[in-house]
Structure 1
Amino acid sequence: MPERQDPFATFFDMQAEAMREMIGRFAGPAGAPAGGDVTQWTETAEQLRTMWFDFVQERLAGGGDPANPLDPAHWMLMAQGWTGSAPFDPAAAQRMMAEGVELWQSVAGAMLDGGDGDAAGREKGAPALPRQDRRFADPAWREHPAYALLHQTYLMLADHFTRAAREVDGVPDEQKGQLALATQALLDAMSPDNFLATNPVVLKRTVETSGQNLVKGMQHLIADLRRGQLTHTDAGAFALGENLATTPGKVVHETPLYQLIQYSPSTPDVLAVPLVIFPPWINRFYILDLSPKKSFVKWAVDRGLSVFMVSWKSADASMKDVVWDDYIRAQIDAIDHVRARLRVPAVHAIGYCVAGTTLAATLAILARRGEADKVASATFFTAQVDFEKAGELRSFVDGAQLEMIGKLSPEGYLDGRYMAATFNALRGKDLIWNYVVNNYLLGEDYPAFDLLHWNGDVTNLPAKWHGDYLRDLYRDNKLVVPDALEADGTPIDLTRIETPVFIQAGREDHIAPAESVWRATRHFRGDTTFVLAGSGHIAGVVNPPAANKYRYWTGDSAAPSLEAFVDGAQEHPGSWWPHWLEWLARRDDARVPAKGKRKPGGRGDKVVEDAPGRYVMMR
């Protein structure tokens, strides 16, 4: 059997051939390239060849990495079965031809007119063109007719194919969503700005640097292939406990699945009812404790809350049998430990994303057991319980996708790089190809951006539970069916939940769409408050008031639909955090001195270690 072609080697060969053609194109009459002498170009070409050859030999000697999420072959396999066979539409083909003729005429007219463009075009001497896209914002894409026509044709075809994927007849809605996602992924990958020979900005940089941008880009590419993950930011710029996750505290409890952090108070007295936060186990907890200016934890501590945080352990082979029941038992254990430690009857709880889904199940189980009063209130950050409108991620939960995920977890856990690649693929233009151009082709230095650093700090997932989660919740939507699921021997019925709840959704959230989050209001039976925040899954949550960014909407949480809520909602500028704190204080505003075990690690208080703890640093 012939050896499978290495997709990255093919990509490199294409770029190398483009470079050779470019050298010839820029060569002067005597054979010397206009952008540098022959020696420089020869050295650059040799550097690239040697770097790639050495890396390939390294992979061959080491047996390669069969589970490399950067390998495009995995994503081509995942796309198989999505596209199916879409019926040919003659009318759509005719429209595309007509649009093409019109496009060529308009581009030609714009190039001839020159100055009759938008403000940016006139200022830089480049014409305006019919279609706008920030990938082609540089004037170089408009200054030469060939590049103008190239990218305008690409945008026209992309519009046509995405529209055709959305409007195709005779295809079930679920498969139509998969077709749209696969089509968009392919179109993003084929954009002319992703290739040296068709990107005038990269060509110009290559001539200016005699190809050293490609040498630096090759260094970035090889480093990413070695780690099996696309790099978004300068990893050396951040260190946990130094400039990330720096809010002072102690690990006060530890199990094989999680550590419990208690943060040190910064006020003389604190609210009597403590707060325990359950972050998603698919990410590191410190999204809620980034830099001090962005930290939700620090903000809450500074306002007199006794804050506890769960830090989940990244899965390894020892966790191959961890399932739904274990995470629910862990949440109950954390709640009970905080209650016992501070000698209080109840806690406030927050569940973020998938941990919010589990928190809903936890509340239902406590209610069924007659223990609902252990939780005074529950807050849900972009968390879904009803998955009927769960958005693009539903495209990853058919039988073929679940089978593939199972094959990627031979040791009982799913490498977190696959989850990161999945979320990146949902916004491939911004989170994949933008970095391919900047990192690999332009050879740019990585920025120091804490949020992107966190985004790349992946965690592994217990494969059995991850598969059950996708199958039972995303695909089959069993959580909203009373007693269809159980955990720890107790059936789950969300309609038994009478705990006061605060539900936050992000207006532009593509991970947990606002309409999907809203549906929780249909299932809880207690006092329910819904707030719609500006931005998405992360920025909609991590929005400190001092930043004065975005906005949020409050309204009738009993409205029959999200649309009805929005129609009658009141808009507020800035962060929703103070609104939430007011809501929390209305539940119980009693305060107690911040002493004794309210100050972790004091005299006689046995603790495990300093925050942020070991688990968050485990890879």
Structure 2
Amino acid sequence: MTGKSLVTKEDTELPAVIQSQESAQLLTRPSGQEREPEHPLADAFDRTVHAAVARSTAGLSPMALTNAWMDWAVHLAFSPGKQAELVNKAARKTARLATHAAKCALSEGDHKPCIEPLPQDKRFSDEAWHKWPYNLMYQSFLLNQQWWHNATTGVRGVTRQHENVLEFASRQLLDIFSPSNFLWTNPEVIEKTWQEKGMNLVHGFQNYLEDLIDMTDGKMNKPSKYKVGQDVAVTPGNVVFRNRLIELIQYKPATDKVRPEPILIAPAWIMKYYILDLSPHNSLVKYLTEQGYTVFMVSWKNPDENDRNLGMDDYRQLGIMAALDAISAILPERKVHAVGYCLGGTLLSIAAAAMARDGDDRIGSMTLLAAQTDFTEAGELTLFINESELTFLEDMMWEKGYLDTNQMAGAFQILRSNDLVWSRMVHDYLIGERQELNDLMSWNMDATRMPYRMHSEYLRELFLNNDFAAGRYRVGEKPVVLSDIRVPIFAVGTQWDHVAPWHSVYKVHQLSDTEVTFLLTSGGHNAGIVSEIGHPGRFYQISTRSADDQYEDPDSWIQNTPLREGSWWPAWVAWLDERSGEPVPPPSMGATGVVLPLIDKAPGQYVLQD
């Protein structure tokens, strides 16, 4: 196979630097971290067995779970003091529940619950749960859940990850049996059934059959009223560059003059790019063009089995670097405001560090949106990151050549099962009502795949080994470090992020030796970033630290930084304005001649791939 066979007609019309970069990367790339098996046939057989098991375990390694359980069980067996403490706690919780039940039976009126749900637990917030016997049901469940938390944590000698895995697994199992999940123990469902004379259950059964048919047909999602290119991703623009991995979209100017420095946005390939170009009222791309910026967007290809050997460095070279080369052809000698979202921000950090090491100064500033550069506190996703789980996951991906959309969606649903699984099942199947999709929910259902090699390298080198933060991550023959970057950094964390917890995003302060502006906004990993002006209930905190300032820990930072109302977008644009030149006439769309022709209208073709 030659490099030429892997590029499109449009690629052959690019400057030689872009063509040679792509073909050389694919032909000379090192073999990566995966070992060569001594006995390929035996290795293939083991992988096939693991992949078959994975289909029935949602990709979770039973070996990893067994290791965690054995670690906990053996240490608990040799901890008589802990056992006695658990017996004592069980007795006291039983007495508390019995006392509360007696008070409710002997006197009328509201009685203070003997245990309150956690603030984020909304399952029992309805007034109907405070009436007998449902109050005793949910309080008994919460006391039982609390006891199991005590049982799975604080056992001396158990490794931290095994303890976290057991606590998480026990919580997930107990949530299955929550009284809110069943018809006869959920007063809200009972009331709805009485009012509708059971028709809600009929509608719920119809919803269940529809979902079952979709799953049987391999369709996770229902058709949405939000059509890409018609209702969402409608900001005018053109695809000006395409290779086997990305389309680069240049958006048309919305003002008579623009800032001389363009913006390049690299979203994560775990998501479709149009989360940043949703409906016109909440499109970050549209907002930026209206503020006088030339915006370029990377639209990633949705990989298939033919892309199984694309690695992290392919994504760097064919993604970030190819996009920068294309922008340089359109706007020569211009600095670029580079923006990376989630995994795209991690990749941008690696690319920027390599550029700084090699003397490439095309990046003028770097913005990281909910992106991690240090993975030591990467949230509950780290529960699934160990040698056993990664080996199991690699074998599952090896069979197909990619991690498919169902497995990807399932992983995130497990992390937020109350919100994304059980509450949805109650609402759809017991209440019998479908929740109307908004544009963000519709985007969330438009899932993507992950190439086998890339995902394995990402999980091993970044999540498991934390090589980038430790200075071991290599680009070419030498390692790269974030501290080589000297351009100003704007880092955004979101308050309730379960993918990139803001404490983890905040670690950019410890790794960088440049000016860092950190902003913490309300919302989660996606909704916190899509925070358009006028969105109700939004607030944020922001401060800037120079390279010479002393470090402030995140808990002190959040206490000392004033709260501001509204969207964070204007604060970011003000930061960009301060680091941009005076407005000039807008550039041409694409480059003149046939160097970078207008290939297609936005949103292009890659975003439409299933």
| TM-score, L = length of structure 1 | 0.81
1:82/1:182 contact within 8 Å kept: no
Secondary structure in 2 matching 1:553: strand
Give matches, 1:134-533, under 5 Å. Answer: 134-145=122-133, 147-206=134-193, 208-209=197-198, 211-226=201-216, 235-329=223-317, 330-371=319-360, 373-409=361-397, 410-482=399-471, 484-533=472-521
- 2:557 pairs with 1:571: no
- 2:85 pairs with 1:95: no
For residues 299 and 73 of structure 1, the distance between their equivalents in structure 2, rounded to whole angstroms, comes to: 39
For residues 305 and 590 of structure 1, the distance between their equivalents in structure 2, rounded to whole angstroms, comes to: 11
For residues 610 and 447 of structure 1, the distance between their equivalents in structure 2, rounded to whole angstroms, comes to: 30
Residue type of the alignment partner of 2:332: R
For residues 96-152 of structure 1, the C-alpha deviation after alignment (integer angstroms, 9 at most, x for no partner) is 22212211321342355343358xxxxxxxxx675345313344444442x332222
1:305: Cα distance to partner?
0.7
- Higher relative CO (Cα under 8 Å, sequence separation at least 6) belongs to 2
1:395: Cα distance to partner?
0.8
Alignment partner for residue 613 of structure 1, among 596, 604, 608? Answer: 604
1:261: Cα distance to partner?
0.7
2:58/2:407 contact within 8 Å kept: no
Secondary structure in 1 matching 2:492: strand
- More displaced 10-residue stretch of structure 1: 129-138 or 583-592: 129-138
Secondary structure in 2 matching 1:547: coil
1:221/1:440 contact within 8 Å kept: no
1:547: Cα distance to partner?
1.7
Residue of structure 1 equivalent to 2:100: 106
Name the CA shift for 1:277/1:99 in 2 (closer, same or farther; >3 Å): same
For residues 588-608 of structure 1, the C-alpha deviation after alignment (integer angstroms, 9 at most, x for no partner) is 23211125337x999997311
1:553/1:572 contact within 8 Å kept: yes
Name the CA shift for 1:200/1:564 in 2 (closer, same or farther; >3 Å): closer
For residues 302-357 of structure 1, the C-alpha deviation after alignment (integer angstroms, 9 at most, x for no partner) is 11110010011111011111011111112011011112112343211001111111
2:467/2:473 contact within 8 Å kept: yes
1:274/1:305 contact within 8 Å kept: yes
1:229/1:417 contact within 8 Å kept: no
Name the CA shift for 1:111/1:309 in 2 (closer, same or farther; >3 Å): farther
For residues 54 and 190 of structure 2, the distance between their equivalents in structure 1, rounded to whole angstroms, comes to: 29
Alignment size in residue pairs: 539
1:438: Cα distance to partner?
1.3
1:224: Cα distance to partner?
4.4
1:288: Cα distance to partner?
0.7
For residues 219-251 of structure 1, the C-alpha deviation after alignment (integer angstroms, 9 at most, x for no partner) is 2431342255765xx643211111111111111
What stretches of structure 2 of length at least 5 have no aligned partner? 1-50, 78-82
Residue of structure 1 equivalent to 2:574: 582
1:258: Cα distance to partner?
0.7
Secondary structure in 2 matching 1:503: strand
For residues 387 and 105 of structure 2, the distance between their equivalents in structure 1, rounded to whole angstroms, comes to: 51
For residues 442 and 563 of structure 1, the distance between their equivalents in structure 2, rounded to whole angstroms, comes to: 41
Residue type of the alignment partner of 1:83: W
Between the aligned residues of both structures, percent identity stands at 33
For residues 12-35 of structure 1, the C-alpha deviation after alignment (integer angstroms, 9 at most, x for no partner) is xxxxxxxxxxxxxxxxxxxxxxxx
Residue type of the alignment partner of 2:565: P
**RMSD, matched Cα:** 2.7
- More displaced 10-residue stretch of structure 1: 556-565 or 520-529: 556-565
2:250/2:589 contact within 8 Å kept: no
For residues 239 and 276 of structure 2, the distance between their equivalents in structure 1, rounded to whole angstroms, comes to: 16
Residue type of the alignment partner of 1:285: Y
Secondary structure in 2 matching 1:592: coil
| TM-score, L = length of structure 2 | 0.82
Secondary structure in 1 matching 2:597: coil
2:232/2:274 contact within 8 Å kept: yes
Secondary structure in 2 matching 1:555: strand
Residue type of the alignment partner of 1:617: L
Secondary structure in 2 matching 1:389: coil
2:239/2:599 contact within 8 Å kept: yes
For residues 570 and 521 of structure 2, the distance between their equivalents in structure 1, rounded to whole angstroms, comes to: 13
Secondary structure in 2 matching 1:589: coil
What stretches of structure 1 of length at least 5 have no aligned partner? 1-65, 119-127
